[in-house]
Structure 1
Amino acid sequence: MFVNDVPKMLLPLNIQYLADDPPTDDSQDSPVSNEGDPVTYTEEDFQKRLQEEVAKATTKHADDLAAARTEAEKLAKMNADEKAKYELEKREQDLAAKEQEIAARELRSETLSMLADKKYNLPAEVIDIVLGENAETTIKNIETFKAVFDAAVQKSVEERLAGKSPSTGTSGAGKGTEEQIREQFANGLKGVY
């Protein structure tokens, strides 16, 4: 073993952790303001925030209780056949809502796979733009979006290849090529050129 190899073999060690009273790192536990200074809360701030949350919870509870009372009064006025019919209708409505939610999730999943497909090859971030109420509308939206997207990219490429002198970095404000293309595309969608 050579003398030059000794620093490479030693592990960095913070010996303060071996002291009797290890240092406390309060900066992780307390919130920090934008300036980097820890934010301090007064008792009044705490009480005010607590009262706001209690008021929200109380209001929500009162609303839920009023809805339950209204429902109970409605059921009390009905006879057995009406109650059974009402309960059946309510279950059917709940079931329809759940089926609609499942269909929406499936459509979203199918749309994500379509966006990743080689035919479209679009980023998944555009799903909220192209997602429609049903599969046909979604496919139409994807195809329209793809045409607009490709045209915007082509236009940007042609502009870059037109022989412009290289920018000095001030016009793009440090933005990368991909980010500039995305910005131009977003402006194209908004109709701003």
Structure 2
Amino acid sequence: MPEETLNVVETEVTEQVDTQTEVETPQEKTYTESELQKIIKDRISREKKAAEKAVEEASRLAKMNEDEKAKYEMDKLKEELADLKRKDARYSMSAEATKMLTEYNFPIDEHVFDIVVKDTAEETKDKVDWFANYVTGIAEEMSKKTLSGTAPKMNVAGNQAMTKEQLNKLSYPDRMELFKTNPTLYNQLK
């Protein structure tokens, strides 16, 4: 079946600074029939799931007597309270972890929080200390690797390796520099 193309017109309002007038400029965005069907199907699916959940809740409540309803509502409230307490504890531990990481001069990142924030202050402190030691150890190891390279070897005799040909190829300012820094070599090559 050939796809039909539907046009949807969107308008955009722009303001001109000089004249302070509004101008409507239509922009067309086209959707194929299959794209529209997919959008509609997704929306219907979401709404259907929400409606099914509400019906399920209502049927569960309808089957219960007054005491069971009260118990069910109480259990739901307890679950919500426990969830809120967990979230509050995580927030508090995140604040503590922020203070501890700041003391170590570490950048604060959500991924770091996932590693160091635990349920209690003691566990969080232990994880922050572990993390700080771990990162510091890695930094020291990388620094040692960087600094462990061999130093460039200097010619102990200075410019002894220079030949008369090399001296002749030097520019006048370079010859004067050699004369100032090592006059004996300059006189030998001259």
What range is the shorter-chain TM-score in? Answer: 0.5 to 0.7
1:116 maps onto 2:108 in alignment: no
* Structure 2 SS opposite 1:43: strand
1:153 maps onto 2:139 in alignment: yes
Amino acid at match of 1:154: E
* Structure 1 SS opposite 2:94: helix
Q: CA deviation at 1:123?
A: 1.7
Q: 1:69 aligns with which of 31, 55, 72?
A: 55
Q: CA deviation at 1:57?
A: 2.3
TM-score by length of 1: 0.56
C-alpha contact (below 8 Å) 2:61/2:69 kept by paired residues: yes
User: Higher strand fraction: Structure 1 or Structure 2?
Assistant: 2
Task: Report Cα offsets for 1:77-101 as digits up to 9, x if no partner.
Answer: 1111211121122112112212211
Report how many aligned residue pairs link the two structures: 129
Amino acid at match of 1:98: L
Q: 2:31 aligns with which of 16, 38, 43?
A: 43
Q: CA deviation at 1:163?
A: 4.1
1:135–1:49 distance in 2 versus 1, CA, 3 Å: farther
Q: CA deviation at 1:133?
A: 3.4
Q: 2:113 aligns with which of 111, 127, 134?
A: 127
Counterpart for residue 46 of structure 2: 60
Q: Please give the alpha-carbon distance, in whole angstroms, between the structure 2 residues aligned to 1:153 and 1:51.
A: 55
Q: Structure 2 unaligned segments of length 5 or more: list them.
A: 1-16, 20-24, 153-190
More RCO (CA 8 Å, sep 6+): 2
Counterpart for residue 97 of structure 1: 83
1:80 maps onto 2:80 in alignment: no
Amino acid at match of 1:140: D
Q: CA deviation at 1:116?
A: 0.5
Q: Please give the alpha-carbon distance, in whole angstroms, between the structure 2 residues aligned to 1:134 and 1:53.
A: 46
Q: CA RMSD in A?
A: 3.0
Q: Please give the alpha-carbon distance, in whole angstroms, between the structure 1 residues aligned to 2:71 and 2:124.
A: 37
